[in-house]
Amino acid sequence: MAAYIDKHFLGGLTGGVTGTVAAYPLDTLKVRLQSGCIVINSPSSMSLLKKSYYTSDKFRTLFRGIGSPLLTLAPANALAFYIENQAMSYLQEETVRNHILAGAASGVFQTFLNSPTELIKIQMQINETRFKNSFSCGKYILEKHGMCGMRRGMLITLFREIPAFAGYFGMYDLMVNDVLGYQYGNAIMDDVKPFIAGGVAGMISWYVTYPIDCVKTRIQATDLSSGEKPKIRTVVRQIHKEGQMANDMMLRSAGMKATLIRAFICNSVTFGTVALVLKVYEQMGKDSLNVI
């Protein structure tokens, strides 16, 4: 029996891997800033890049915990592009509105993969010596806390993913087609446009959902052994009491700057890679590849 790989699935998978690796050091910095593990006063974008990619720590420290997102977030990214494309096939008409609806549908499915994955990733990122690798971290959570432990932060992840993916795909379609006028071609600028559109779409999506992401990070960064189960309302009040969110949204904080720089790099590489994969399929005149 022949097996086929859909072009949007393979594109999303390839883009997920490259985007995750390219922006992971900044993701680690973002998580540590949001969880309060480190504080950086009056940061510039260049200083954040240097702290993320040019650190005195061992090289492997930059990518601590990357095993979990590579094994799960990359396939989840593939599923995101596949589901969005399937939803668009159902909606039929190529409009920004339909891409927003299709993205929202994709976001629902992403929650069930991204929430446990990011729980493991965040626990690895804030506890530099506690867990040997992502597998040992996941094993510890399951053994000590069961599936209930793995579900920590799932509801707030759902609240983040629906608007995030709706804006993600909607803004990308607006940018790449209406603003930049992208078309498959051999010109170098045609290949660059998806990178630009993806980066901008990622930044806007993350900016809008940043407050929700901060709440999610706080919940999933809680020490699991403490037995504490923070509620969304409690964490929201805590963040509001700290008074930092206004500075974040005004682009004055290290956490927001790290988030947006990471979002641009990750989503630029992701969408650009997807576009290149789709271009290869287009040149071959196929919608899927026979792998058996």
* pLDDT tens figures, 2-47: 456 788 888 888 998 898 888 887 777 777 776 666 666 655 555 5
> pLDDT tens digit string along 187-232?
677 888 999 999 999 999 999 999 999 999 999 988 877 777 889 9
Number of domains in the chain: 1
27 inside domain: yes
269 inside domain: yes
Check if the beta carbon of residue 73 is closer than 8 Å to that of residue 270: no
44 inside domain: yes
* DSSP per residue, 54-110: S-SS-HHHHTTTTHHHHHHHHHHHHHHHHHHHHHHHHH-S--HHHHHHHHHHHHHHH
83 inside domain: yes
pLDDT at 153 over 80: yes
Backbone angles phi and psi of 230, in degrees to 5: -65, 140
Backbone angles phi and psi of 6, in degrees to 5: -65, 145
What is residue 56's predicted lDDT score, i.e. its pLDDT?
A: 46
Strand-pairing partners, residue 6, are 288
168 inside domain: yes
146 inside domain: yes
Tell me which residue range forms the domain holding 72: 4-287
pLDDT at 129 over 80: no
Helices 154-173 + 96-126 axis angle, to 10: 130
292 inside domain: no
Rg for the chain, CA atoms, rounded: 19
d(CA 35, CA 131): 18
What CATH number is given to the structural domain containing 30? Answer: 1.50.40.10
Amino acid at 283: Q
Q: Higher model confidence: residue 86 or residue 49?
A: 86
